[in-house]
Amino acid sequence: METPNTNPNAETLSNQSDAVEVAAKSVQNDPSVTNAKVNRKNFMNALENGSLACLPQADGKADVSDVKNVVNGTKYRGMTTLLLKNFSKLNGYPTNEYMTVQQLDKVNMEKQLGWNDRLRIKKGEHGINIDFSVPKHDENGNEVKDPETGKTVNEKITAKLFNIAQVENPEKLVEWAKEQAQARYEYAKEKAGDKWHEPNPDKVREVVNATTSDPAQYLAEYFDAMEKGKDFAASKEIVDGFKSKVNEFVWEHKEGEERKPHVNPYRLNMLGYEAAKKLNEMRTTVKNTKIRENYAKKSYEEKLKNHQAKKNNYRSMSDDDGMSMSD
């Protein structure tokens, strides 16, 4: 005889348990989660062994070299630069120049390369998956705007990037990239006109020293130095504090505590987002400071001008009075 179910919620609980298990498996099989875990692992290993680009190296300075898209010439920014630099270092690539397979195909089309001569990734090579936030577009190709704020709505995409060293016969790509870079240079120079200034290769680089071990602020200062062409350094005390706090943030536990069995795989992405916010705050502060300084300077110069005008007017009146008395 079948035993009756004395718990009316048993079936519901069983269904919920199944749903949780299915959801867990779904998350485990999510490529985005896998990418986040792989990038986190490589990032944290580099942090631990001291090879992460934002940490001072043998010369006492961090690696502030640019990371570029070799096809369109744009520079990667933020956390992406650290992930790509680390990928280059792990694989022994001499430069930090990247592109997608789709961009290689675009170059093939523009250069009209045949099947055997086409640019392609070497067999057996694996790229690195990077998440980007880009403007969302509707079916007509227009940017989607938030109906309440009017701001552009962004969406996340994942791009697989390859280093130029992973390309078969990369010389063709290097040659094409140089031609494109020269064209962009000529265009920028022509557009700037008299305001154009050639970069000075002999200019002494300013060194920016980290002011804090707070992970987001430390990274913001590093990213800012890199984008402005400055060197970046940090004391051992700050670096040690930074490494410890990044570990706490990413793994969600403090030193000495038992690590959680399940950790949010996107914590590193969150750190990158917080660093980007700090960087924007820094730039806003600098911008507002310059605005106030310019306003104060303009007000002072106007005040000085008015004072001089009054002084000259007083002298003129005095001269007129003197002439009248002598007459």
Residue 109 within any structural domain of the chain: yes
Residue 22 included in any domain:
no
In a domain, 16, yes or no: no
315 vs 127 pLDDT, higher one: 127
Q: Are 5 and 11 in contact (CB under 8 A)?
A: yes
Task: Give the pLDDT band (50/70/90) at residue 323.
Answer: low
Residue 13's pLDDT band, with cuts at 50, 70 and 90, is: very low
What is the torsion angle, in degrees rounded to the nearest 10, for the CA atoms of residue 83, residue 275, residue 227 and residue 144?
90
Q: Tokens in use for 35? A: 């990418």
94 domain residue, yes or no: yes
Whether 296 maps to a domain, the answer reads no
- For residue 206, with 0-12 CB atoms within 10 Å meaning exposed, 13-18 middle and 19 or more buried, which class applies? exposed
| CA geometry: angle 120, 125, 131, nearest 5 deg | 90
Beta bridge partners of 143: 137
Strands 231-233 and 207-209: parallel
**Residue 220's domain spans which residues?**
31-195+211-289
79 is written with which tokens?
């956390």
Structural domain tally of the chain?
1
Residue 19 lies in a domain: no
Residue 86, SS3 per DSSP? helix
Q: How many CB atoms lie within 10 A of CB 104?
A: 20
More confident residue, 238 or 32: 238
State the pLDDT confidence band at 52, using cuts at 50, 70 and 90: very high
Mean per-residue pLDDT for 49-70? 96
Query: Model's pTM, two decimal places?
Result: 0.78
Q: What is the mean pLDDT of residues 6-22?
A: 48
In a domain, 55, yes or no: yes
Arithmetic mean of pLDDT, 201-223: 94
The answer to whether position 259 is within a domain reads: yes
